[in-house]
Amino acid sequence: MRVHARPPRVRSTASIKRVSTPDEIEPFLSDAAHYPGGHADEVCFPASEADVAEILRDGRRVLPVGAQSSLTGGATPQGGIVLSLARMNRILGWTRTGVRVEAGLLLSQLEPELRAHDLYYPPVPTYDGASVGGTVATNAAGAATFKYGTTREWVTAITVVLAGGDVLDLHRGEAMAGAQGGFDIVTTDGRTLRVDVPGYTMPDVRKHSAGYFAKPGMDLIDLFIGAEGTLGVITEVELRLVSPRPSWFAAFVPLAGDDAALALVADLRAESKRTWETADRCGGDVAAIEYMDARCLELLREDGAFVHAGVSCPKDSAAALVLQAELAPGTSRDDAFRELGRLDVRGADAPLLRICRILVEHGVFATATPVLPGEDTRRDALFRLRESVPEGVNRRVRERQRTIDPSISKAGGDVIVPFERLGEALTRYRRIMQAHKLDHAIWGHISDGNVHPNAIPADGEQMDHARRALIEIGMEAIEMGGSPMSEHGVGRSPVKQQLLRRLYGNEGIAAMRRVKEALDPDYRLAPGVLFPEHES
Ligand SMILES: Cc1cc2nc3c(=O)[nH]c(=O)nc-3n(C[C@H](O)[C@H](O)[C@H](O)COP(=O)(O)OP(=O)(O)OC[C@H]3O[C@@H](n4cnc5c(N)ncnc54)[C@H](O)[C@@H]3O)c2cc1C
């Protein structure tokens, strides 16, 4: 397929904002992974695609960043220019099915606008301070992936500035790989950049953010989604939206342990899939189920998070779930309350009753903390409670990095297996952590089979063990038909880069390098992200 690039649109008169003193640059030298050694010459803040093109034509290395919430070191600069999209944060317009925005817009800035228009964007990651461009670049996914899929499925168009400063406008369905298995991108100076689709097969799981997307006959837009800034700078994104917004029922459900959690999730998943397949108006419709293990609950207790969230969690609980189910748009708190009053009425049927009856069957209804539609403050508190788990772990890791050994850093996995194999996978992950004598906590998006096993290393020596354990855990996920990188991407993490190689082999990495070299032969865009700049 031949695709023509265009020159950048004419620039506004405002000049590019640049900062270069150590104090000004310092806040941009690390991301949420606290990857060590970040450094840069300057930070540029373009205001338009023409500004982005001008920065790229400068000839230096460029790392595009959004909110720098990367958990893989992908947004940590290693020299050259940090290109912050922070000033490109406008909503450009509403389309028939969605919205077009500049890539630097934060999801938390978009949300109030969506609320005002009774619209909903489902694949929001747990951290909603991420930028739209960052979530597209990492193919981010969140709790609701179980029902709605990943960011990729919600992106209908992007504008991307290539390393040489040319611009591509890509609309889903318009540029498909040809019979020869690739794309010919014609630049404004008449050159043809030949991009061959890599021949590896991606794991068949609900979410996967590990290197370049590759499928026979694929859409060119999918090459840039999930490419982690290595192939171009995304400047505009068109997102599909849901209208009207559903109403939500949520619940915190403490449980006796993993077996009880997995059995409940299996039933909730089955009920929801049946509902989607049969369009049953009374069917239970769960969009997301989050999991926390016994160690997570201990950390939450230590941090006083349950009291803060107004949630009770019995001391003998050894796992907990936060579930989110959808109810018909417009369902009010009173409607839901009335509905719950019919729980014991024989023959009474409704989505909320189906979910609650499953909780009753599993003997956990009485100890669950329910949140009804319209109870937004309580719902926010519940999701903050879930977020307090990674925050608590990351804080402890940072503290140890500061006080014990600077080599200590985040040591978290992001593995997915088919849900049916998750019980076995959790046992294997724990066995590995225990064999390495690592304090660890596991949480994540259990409805997808995606969890985050995190080590909390006590010292530098344990940090080495944590890295080895995460590679072993990733290998287990691959062996079980899953992916070692589900939603956070690969970034600069040596562990994740090693797992990417284990997933696709040397030939897979070589195929990715050929894609990279076709579009960015000098490795100027996000060098060192996904794979090292030079093979050792
Ligand atoms: C508490 C917490 C919870 C999280 N939960 C989740 C979760 O549930 N699911 C999930 O998927 N992630 C999660 N993340 C990780 C992170 O939020 C996502 O990876 C997010 O997509 C990053 O967006 P960002 O704007 O911060 O991008 P950055 O961190 O700034 O950049 C990430 C990568 O994308 C590239 N990039 C950024 N913007 C652009 C652009 N405009 N054009 C081209 N490349 C670009 C960068 O070069 C980098 O490689 C979490 C992070 C935290 C701190």
pLDDT digits (tens, 9 = 90+) for 476-495: 999 999 999 999 999 999 99
Provide mean pLDDT across the span 260-286: 98
- Does position 224 have pLDDT exceeding 80, yes or no? yes
- Does position 36 have pLDDT exceeding 90, yes or no? no
Q: Is residue 46 lining ligand 1, measured as CB closer than 6 Å?
A: no
- In whole angstroms, what is the distance from residue 85 CA to residue 102 CA? 9
Q: Is residue 89 lining ligand 1, measured as CB closer than 6 Å?
A: no
**For residue 501, how far is its CA from the centre of ligand 1 (angstroms)?**
22
Q: Is residue 44 lining ligand 1, measured as CB closer than 6 Å?
A: no
**For residue 84, how far is its CA from the centre of ligand 1 (angstroms)?**
13
- pLDDT given at position 33: 86
- Which token pair is 7? 């020159």
Tally of helices (H runs) and strands (E runs) in the chain: 15, 20
CA-CA distances (angstroms) from residue 429 to 263, 390, 434, 475, 497? 19, 18, 9, 10, 19
Q: Is residue 394 lining ligand 1, measured as CB closer than 6 Å?
A: no
- Does position 18 have pLDDT exceeding 70, yes or no? yes
Q: Is residue 140 lining ligand 1, measured as CB closer than 6 Å?
A: yes
Average pLDDT for the chain: 96
- pLDDT given at position 13: 62
| Cβ-contact 465, 437 below 8 angstroms | yes
pTM of the model: 0.95
**For residue 491, how far is its CA from the centre of ligand 1 (angstroms)?**
10
Closest CA to 277 of 123, 153, 147, 154: 147
**pLDDT tens digit sequence for 424-460:** 999 999 999 999 999 999 999 999 999 999 999 999 9
Q: What does residue 367 show for φ and ψ, rounded to 5 degrees?
A: -95, -5
User: How do strand 192-196 and strand 182-186 relate by DSSP bridges?
Assistant: antiparallel
- Which token pair is 127? 């951290």
**pLDDT tens digit sequence for 73-110:** 999 999 999 999 999 999 999 999 999 999 999 999 99
**For residue 121, how far is its CA from the centre of ligand 1 (angstroms)?**
17
Q: Which of 44, 62, 70, 81 to mutate to test ligand 1, by most ligand atoms within 8 A of the CB atom?
A: 70
**For residue 350, how far is its CA from the centre of ligand 1 (angstroms)?**
38
Ligand 1, closest atom to CA 143? Answer: 8
- In whole angstroms, what is the distance from residue 504 CA to residue 513 CA? 13
- pLDDT given at position 536: 67
Ligand 1, closest atom to CA 70? Answer: 29
**For residue 143, how far is its CA from the centre of ligand 1 (angstroms)?**
15
**For residue 68, how far is its CA from the centre of ligand 1 (angstroms)?**
6
- Which token pair is 345? 């009425």
- pLDDT given at position 12: 62
